[in-house]
Amino acid sequence: MKASSYIFFIALGLLFFGCKSETIEDAKALSLEKDFKKIKRVGYSVMLPNYMEESLKLNPDASLKYASEVKNEFLIIINESKSIFEEKYAAFNSENKSSTLENYSNTQLSYTKENMNVISFSKPTMFNIGNIKGVKATKEIKLAELTEPVSYFFFYLESKTQLFTIMAWTIKQNTAIYEVKLEKTLRSFRAQ
């Protein structure tokens, strides 16, 4: 055999036997200071894992699009004017007296339910990050091109002037690990 064949088999062996699978404990041990990077956009900042890279392939409406295709972890943030949403929503739903955040999250979640093959979803729950109110929900979705379901995480946030959708997803087998990292990312979110 040629030397290049030996190198190929050594590399193949390292690929299959040298890679350690990531665990929930590994995700919990990640430090915002060492293992995450701060990303700033107009109106907000957020910390993302160092290994995630900007991706132009994701939603064109998103102000932030990051992914790790190797880890099957994806995250986008869409922000929009709170006052414009309130005006548009009032024009079609003048009798609705729910909060802006409830209306925004319900509108967004209804859209995904209608346009995706949803297997299961959690009941939306409220949370706070400092003075920012939020709603979170998860959905398991079946995509035609994948054999394994995809876990989607939806976070809707309301600041004084903006509404934010943070949408993240991964394959189902990575759900618990990615959820730990997302909690760190979410807690790092700052509206300006």
Q: Which domain holds residue 81?
A: 23-191
- The neighbour count for residue 109, using CB atoms within 10 Å, is 18
Residue 116 within any structural domain of the chain: yes
Predicted pLDDT at 17:
40
Predicted pLDDT at 156:
95
Predicted pLDDT at 188:
95
Residue 58, classified by CB atoms within 10 Å of its CB into exposed (0-12), middle (13-18) or buried (19+), is middle
- Two structure tokens written together for 167: 């949408």
Predicted pLDDT at 114:
77
pTM of the model: 0.84
- We report the CATH number of the domain holding residue 84 as 3.40.1000.10
**Mutual orientation of helices 82-92 and 100-115 as an angle, nearest 10°?**
70
Predicted pLDDT at 94:
66
d(C-alpha 94, C-alpha 184), whole Å: 38
- Two structure tokens written together for 154: 């939806």
Predicted pLDDT at 113:
77
Residue 89 within any structural domain of the chain: yes
Which residues in the chain land under pLDDT 50?
1-19
Residue 5 within any structural domain of the chain: no
Predicted pLDDT at 20:
53
d(C-alpha 1, C-alpha 29), whole Å: 44
d(C-alpha 81, C-alpha 159), whole Å: 10
Q: Which residue(s) pair with 127 in the sheet?
A: 134
Residue 102 within any structural domain of the chain: yes
Residue 8 within any structural domain of the chain: no
Residue 135 within any structural domain of the chain: yes
As for how many domains the chain has, the answer is 1
Predicted pLDDT at 66:
97
Residue 2 within any structural domain of the chain: no
Predicted pLDDT at 135:
95
Residue 15 within any structural domain of the chain: no
d(C-alpha 43, C-alpha 159), whole Å: 10
